[in-house]
Amino acid sequence: MDLAADDVDNIAGFGRISLALHGCQAIFSELSYRYPLKLLSPRVSEPSVAIAYVLTYGGGLVSGDRIDLHVKVASGAALLLLTQGSTKVFKHRAGVRLAKAASDTEDMFGLSTVQKLNVDVQKDGLLLLLPDPVTCFSDAAYNQIQAFHLEEGASAALLDWVTSGRMSRGEEWQFSRYYSVNEVWLGKKRIARDVLLLEEDYGGRRALKDRIGIYSCYATLILCGPKVRTVVDSLYASYHEISIYQLTTHAELIWSMSGIEGGCVVRIAGKETEGVKKWIRGRIDAELCARWTALDDNDLTEEHIEQLLYPLQDDLWTAAACIDRVLDDVDVQRALLDLGIQRTDSAIRRAQEVLLSHTSSSANSNDSERRLTTYFSTHVADAQLCQMRTVLLNRRDRLRSYEEIKERLLTQRISHGFENDAAEGWEDDPWADADPDESSLEPSPSTAPLPLPLSVFLSEDMTLISLALASQMKLEALLIIRNRHFGEIFPYRFEIIDRIPSFVDPSTYRDLLPAHDMQIGMERIDKGNPWRVEDDFSETNIVKSALSETGLPFLIAPDKNQIYSSGLELLSSDEVQTWYKNKVEAVVSSTGMVDMALSLVQHGASQGVVGLDELGEDLSLLSRLVYDSPGSEKFIEPVNMSKWLSLEPHDVILQYLAHSIPETIVSDIRRLVMPYLFVLESRCERAGNPDPELLKRLLYDYILHAHHDTVVPIFESSKPTLVASQRFISDDEDLARLALACLYGSSSLDDWANMSRIFECLPAWSFEADDDDDEADTTVASLGAFLAPSTSRLIASPSDLLVFFKPLPARSLSHALDILDVHLESGEILARWGVPVPLRWFLQSTYDEAQQRAWAMKMARQVNAPSGDLDSEDIWLSLLEDMLKLTRHDEKFTHTAFGALSGDDIRQIFFRGILSTGKFTIAKHVILPRQGERLLDTDVIERLCLDCSREFYDNASSGKFNSGDMKLAYDCLGVAPQSPAVEKERKFIEATSRISSFNLTSRPGVPILPIEIRLTKDKLSLVAGVLSSNESAYKHVEVILELAHKLGFQNDVLAEVKTLAMIADAALQAEDFLRAFEASERMVNAVLKLRQTAPLGADNPQVREAVDVCWVACFQLGRQSEAKDTARKMSLLGRALELCPSDKIVDILTSWRKLETEDIVRRQERNSVRQSRNENGAKQARGRTSTLSSRLQGLHVPSPALPSASALASHTFSRVAASLPFSMHGNSSGERNHSQEGSPDVQSQARHALQRGIGWLIGAEEDEL
């Protein structure tokens, strides 16, 4: 039924509700009604939910009243329709009775009360129709028709219920008629239609009361849609758990349910209306609980608590819900805690009543605890509520502390801002913002907002919270926690203090630091001001003990995990003192802020802690180092108390003066070191061990080990010319000893200016020569031996040197200072020429000529000369002049650098030094001047030039003399006057260069070095290496011979013979027989000439060696079958027979016979050819002996009386076999092997043939062969 808005004024009882959703806010777009209908809409906090109360003016409906209400809920909105009491239906007008039931379409409005409800719910909308039950008076008639149209996705919870009437007045089921219809449409489909008709049958035998039975309340609950799905599921779960048994009595309440699309229909019957109400309330509570659970913590408001938790009847669930939610909103959290505590009050009262009832009858506490334990065991809910109350009370205390912290921090932040404004004065910036942003005020760390949210502050362990606040320097918050929750953090008080950063000023957390009670000798404790002076009943020991004895599982288990070791006991006096010492060590070592550690000690002393005086004194001394010493603003070296206390006095002085500069060193010592030394002296006196030399000993030790830059101002402030009271070191002898030990103990090589300045500050005594000078010389000699490095000590320290100078009197000290003057002058000269030495070197080398000579050579070589142009002759002359200054004069020993060397030694060293630099032109001009006397003799110059050249040669990395060290070696020989030795060395360098040009190697891939060539004993092996490494080298016979000559074999015929033999062998290997023959013939001629010219002839050892080389070479070439020149081969074999020893003849003859046989064969072949061409010539040739073989057969050589040919042949064969290794290989061996094939006794035949040949050669008769 759709009616226009104007028609509302014309229809009684008509009403319209239209709920729309604008954004997130549910707003009634229309709320209109006509008498007797009345609609009310209270304010609600939930923006998307609206509530409407349906009322009547008379408090009920009378006969003839007609209510027609149309409701429309927009998408996303939620509407809750309620009534303010039961819907009372009064009886109809007197005299009118309804004899029969009227149909829905019949116009019965005039006779009964009619109420219609038509509801449209759009998608995602929600309708909750939860009216009070309908109560019909006696003889009343009531008709109700309700239609609900839901779109897809819409939800609805519909309750329709009726009671039996006014039972208190005896009106039970005495109304005339109750007719109710509920239809639910989902889209265009009707998914449910529920009809209930209760009508008195006046004509029947049984009254309505008798037919309905014992139940006095009937209800129908229809649930549909996704938003009530949780309730539907819960009902289904409960319904499926119902077990049906045969009952002897009627149940107080029964219910059933039917499923519909998207929901269910539940029907309830109960004996009492209140029982039905509780049952429905329980189901509604489940829905409220589900809605509460579905809410996010950030969305909770106080109205949610009022709407969803306050209506709940279950105290345990409500208290648990209050504990479960830990929020960041202070107001909402406070409301939750107040509600939770309120819901636990009843359980506390019941427990107190149990305890009080037992206490009045018995005074035994154990019985009371046992009775309370029994009660909690049987009333688990109360036990859990008691435990929850403890948690809730603790959270409420924490909430109050949190509010106090916020208020305190806010107040300090505001005051901090005011202080900043006051500090700015009256400056007014016309361009500044009128209202500056509060965030621009930078709070200090202690006044910054609390970093912990409320939820963490309430739920986390208070110890952990305190530790976090301490580490973040939220000291105001920490002090409040200490004041309000002292009992919770007391066991961990020291861990909390240790978590505070060490750089924080202890005065800001002085209330947290331990104090000392002088009366009891223990730690003093201030328990603070907790929120509740007395414990709640749930927090008493008897309740806690009873709860623990029940053994029941609690919703919240007590936390038994302790992270830190607890300190429940009070500390003793010594323990408090130890804690402060450890804390000071931690502060100093972690931050280096000694002032904070000193403040901590001062606070501890003010709190009565004893034993901190000495610690404070040490901190004061340490503070001088950290804050007053030079460079303290850049002091970055870590400092800790234990290290400071472990430092020796000498190390402390070094720490004080580590960053002092020469300009302030004296004042720093007087300002920092002297007070420290005075403290040490006083401590020694207090300890009963006075040490009057302590101050002087420590100061002198520092001076001895300090750098010269630092020491110079100290010596200058101690000059003997100053007033004694102003002198830093007033004793002249001590001053001299310190200077001697300091200078001779120094390893400096370039600080000669400062050392001279120190020397200028020393006293000058005037003494005549005396025995004390010898004592000083002895001391100097002893020092030289002492300063020599050894396995036990590498370098002597200045303190060690002071021991040597301490016994010397003033006269000896004066002589020692004279020696020091000479050493300083010598040191400056050496440093000027780039060969500096420490001053102690002069003591070490005083009598060491080798050491002085080595240093003079280094000086002459000028490798690291820093001054002058080495290409200038004047520079070298200046060097010579300075070197001569450092030598001894007139054969008298001096303490100069080269006092052990003569002038001639220095000139030779100087000349060699020039040569080593390659300045040969300057060397010639200096050593061989055109005018004036020569510095050195000619033979000395020659020797030095040869030595220097050989040094260059040995250091050369390449053998080519046109570059590098080889060029220097070659050019160096041009300085000396020319002589055979010089010329020989020059040719040797040329030979080395020639060998290098042939790429001769010492190892595969590594070119031979010049020094390897020089160290080669057999220089001819180098020639052999050239021939073997270069295939064409043998072709250059003259070059190879010249190479041998330059290697030192000039006019050496034996070397020439060997060289020609190697050339012939190389040509033979290359099968260049022509050059091999030429070299061999030249070699033979040289040998023959040598035999003729040698003094002893053939008996000369050199001749014998040349002959051996020659005949072996001739034999090797002569037996080569590949060579075709038979004449030359036979000639060479003939020379071999001529020159070889007699025991080698057999082998050579073998090759000769073979060569001869081959020659005969070739001649026969040639003759056969000629014979075939010229038969006449062949006939004439037959009458002559045409072969050498035939001529030799007839040849008889007479010989002197010799042993038998057989014995001689046997002896000769044995010697050849034993001494000729080449007779066992080569072609001869091959020939013999070939001749042995097929012979039964090869050795016998060979011996027989050999004997015959030798016998023929020596002229034996035929019968002797």
Average pLDDT, rounded, for the chain = 80
Q: What 3-state class would DSSP assign to 707?
A: coil
What band does 1223 get if pLDDT is binned at 50, 70 and 90?
very low
pLDDT the model gives residue 926: 82
- Percent of residues, the chain, with pLDDT higher than 90: 15
pTM, full prediction: 0.53
Decide if 876 is inside a domain.
Answer: no
Whether 202 and 351 share a structural domain: no
Query: Of 100-104, 973-977, 1216-1220, which gets the smallest average pLDDT?
Result: 1216-1220
Decide if 170 is inside a domain.
Answer: yes
Whether 206 and 350 share a structural domain: no
Q: What integer is the mean pLDDT of 664-670? A: 91
Using alpha carbons only, how large is the chain's radius of gyration in Å?
Answer: 66
Candidates 491, 461, 496; CA nearest to 478 is 496
The DSSP H or E segment spanning 815 is helix 810-832
What band does 386 get if pLDDT is binned at 50, 70 and 90?
very high
Decide if 538 is inside a domain.
Answer: yes
Higher pLDDT: 129 or 999? It is 129
Decide if 679 is inside a domain.
Answer: no
Higher pLDDT: 174 or 1202? It is 174
* DSSP for 555-584, written as a single string: SS------SS----SPPBHHHHHHHHHHHH
CA angle 843, 844, 845 (to 5 degrees): 95
pLDDT the model gives residue 487: 84
The answer, yes or no, to whether residue 194 has pLDDT greater than 90, is yes
pLDDT the model gives residue 1194: 38
- Spatial separation of the C-alpha atoms in residues 83 and 360, rounded to whole Å: 49
Whether the CB-CB separation of 994 and 1043 falls below 8 Å is answered with: yes
- At 953-985, the pLDDT tens digits run 898 888 888 888 888 888 888 888 888 888 888
- Spatial separation of the C-alpha atoms in residues 31 and 46, rounded to whole Å: 19
The answer, yes or no, to whether residue 100 has pLDDT greater than 50, is no
Decide if 206 is inside a domain.
Answer: yes
The answer, yes or no, to whether residue 192 has pLDDT greater than 90, is yes
Query: Of 168-182, 470-484, 554-568, 873-887, which gets the smallest average pLDDT?
Result: 554-568
- Spatial separation of the C-alpha atoms in residues 412 and 424, rounded to whole Å: 18
- Spatial separation of the C-alpha atoms in residues 636 and 645, rounded to whole Å: 19
What band does 365 get if pLDDT is binned at 50, 70 and 90?
low
Decide if 1020 is inside a domain.
Answer: no
Decide if 47 is inside a domain.
Answer: yes
Residues whose CB is less than 8 angstroms from the CB of residue 818 and which lie 6 or more positions away in sequence, other chains included: none
Q: How far apart, in Å, are the Cα atoms of 1064 and each of 392, 926, 1068, 1074, 1141?
A: 121, 52, 6, 10, 21
Query: Of 444-448, 635-639, 668-672, 828-832, which gets the smallest average pLDDT?
Result: 444-448
* DSSP for 73-101, written as a single string: E-TT-EEEEE-SS-EEE----TT----SP
pLDDT the model gives residue 791: 57
Q: What integer is the mean pLDDT of 52-67? A: 85
- Spatial separation of the C-alpha atoms in residues 7 and 1116, rounded to whole Å: 152
Q: What integer is the mean pLDDT of 193-210? A: 78
Cis peptide before 131 (omega within 30 of 0): no
pLDDT the model gives residue 74: 94
Candidates 496, 531, 314; CA nearest to 539 is 531
The answer, yes or no, to whether residue 773 has pLDDT greater than 80, is no
The answer, yes or no, to whether residue 691 has pLDDT greater than 70, is yes
Going 612 to 613 to 614 to 616, the CA torsion angle's sign is positive
User: What tokens were used for 1024?
Assistant: 């052999």
The answer, yes or no, to whether residue 1205 has pLDDT greater than 70, is no
Range of the domain at 1229: 1157-1172+1189-1264
pLDDT the model gives residue 396: 94
- Please give the span between the terminal C-alpha atoms of the chain, in angstroms, as a whole number: 168
Whether the CB-CB separation of 224 and 216 falls below 8 Å is answered with: no
- Spatial separation of the C-alpha atoms in residues 469 and 171, rounded to whole Å: 71
The answer, yes or no, to whether residue 1028 has pLDDT greater than 60, is yes
Q: What integer is the mean pLDDT of 684-708? A: 89
- Burial (CB count <10 Å: 0-12, 13-18, 19+), residue 687: exposed
Beta bridge partners of 37: 56
- At 1122-1133, the pLDDT tens digits run 888 888 888 888
Candidates 77, 74, 72, 75; CA nearest to 25 is 77
Mark 1175-1208 as b/e (b = at least 16 C-beta within 10 Å).
Answer: eeeeeeeeeeeebeeeeeeeeeeeeeeeeebbeb
Residues whose CB is less than 8 angstroms from the CB of residue 558 and which lie 6 or more positions away in sequence, other chains included: none
Q: What integer is the mean pLDDT of 768-785? A: 65
Domain count, the chain: 4
pLDDT the model gives residue 713: 93
Query: Of 89-93, 400-404, 945-949, 1013-1017, which gets the smallest average pLDDT?
Result: 89-93
- Spatial separation of the C-alpha atoms in residues 918 and 941, rounded to whole Å: 15
Query: Of 943-947, 1149-1153, 1214-1218, which gets the smallest average pLDDT?
Result: 1214-1218
Q: What integer is the mean pLDDT of 932-959? A: 85
What band does 918 get if pLDDT is binned at 50, 70 and 90?
confident
User: What's CA 263's distance to the chain center, in Å?
Assistant: 65
The answer, yes or no, to whether residue 144 has pLDDT greater than 70, is yes
Torsion of CA 577, 580, 586, 588, to 10 degrees: -110
Q: Which of 844, 866, 882 is the last residue of a domain?
A: 844
Decide if 708 is inside a domain.
Answer: no
pLDDT the model gives residue 794: 67
Q: How far apart, in Å, are the Cα atoms of 417 and each of 414, 442, 476?
A: 5, 8, 17
Q: Which of 813, 844, 875 is the last residue of a domain?
A: 844
User: What tokens were used for 810?
Assistant: 């003033």
Q: How far apart, in Å, are the Cα atoms of 503 and each of 119, 590, 863, 1045?
A: 72, 9, 58, 90
pLDDT the model gives residue 260: 93
pLDDT the model gives residue 379: 87
Candidates 4, 65, 70, 7; CA nearest to 35 is 65
Q: If you count DSSP H runs as helices and E runs as strands, how many of each does the chain have, helices first?
A: 49, 21
pLDDT the model gives residue 81: 92
- Burial (CB count <10 Å: 0-12, 13-18, 19+), residue 765: middle
Q: What integer is the mean pLDDT of 404-408? A: 89
What band does 220 get if pLDDT is binned at 50, 70 and 90?
very high
Whether the CB-CB separation of 841 and 854 falls below 8 Å is answered with: no
Candidates 361, 370, 393; CA nearest to 542 is 370
Which amino acid does the sequence have at 509? Y
- Spatial separation of the C-alpha atoms in residues 518 and 498, rounded to whole Å: 25
- Spatial separation of the C-alpha atoms in residues 380 and 350, rounded to whole Å: 13
- At 714-754, the pLDDT tens digits run 999 999 988 888 888 888 999 999 999 999 888 888 899 99
User: What tokens were used for 1131?
Assistant: 């000639």
Backbone dihedral angles phi then psi of residue 688, each to the nearest 5 degrees: 85, 15
Q: Which of 215, 248, 277 is the last residue of a domain?
A: 215
Whether 402 and 549 share a structural domain: yes
Helix, strand, coil percentages (3-state) for the chain, rounded to 5, are 55, 10, 35
